[in-house]
Amino acid sequence: EAFSKSVGLYLQKGFQKGVPSLFQSVKFLYATPEKIQLIDSLLNTYLNNLNQYGTFDVSSGMISLIDVKN
């Protein structure tokens, strides 16, 4: 849970700032299948939430609206 929250916040901040090297900074986490699955799940959740609600995390009360263009 703590790992998921930490990685999630790090990824969200990186996406919001448009950090081009975001993958490079988390690439080392792809060494274990559990972490790969967790990151994949986070990213899919973010994508779905952004498309539906315009925010990364609907449940946290942190509404950070992003203009999603299809």
Q: What backbone phi and psi angles, to 5 degrees, belong to 21? A: -100, 25
Is 67 a member of any domain? no
Sign of CA dihedral 2, 42, 61, 21: positive
How far is Cα 28 from Cα 59, in angstroms, rounded to an integer?
Answer: 29
Task: Inform me whether the pLDDT recorded for 61 exceeds 80.
Answer: no
Q: Is residue 24 part of a domain?
A: yes
60 lies in a domain?
Answer: no
pLDDT in tens, 22-32: 999 999 999 99
Q: Which domain holds residue 36?
A: 2-53
Does residue 19 belong to any structural domain of this protein? yes
Q: Is residue 26 part of a domain?
A: yes
Q: What is the mean pLDDT of residues 36-61?
A: 87
pTM of the model: 0.75
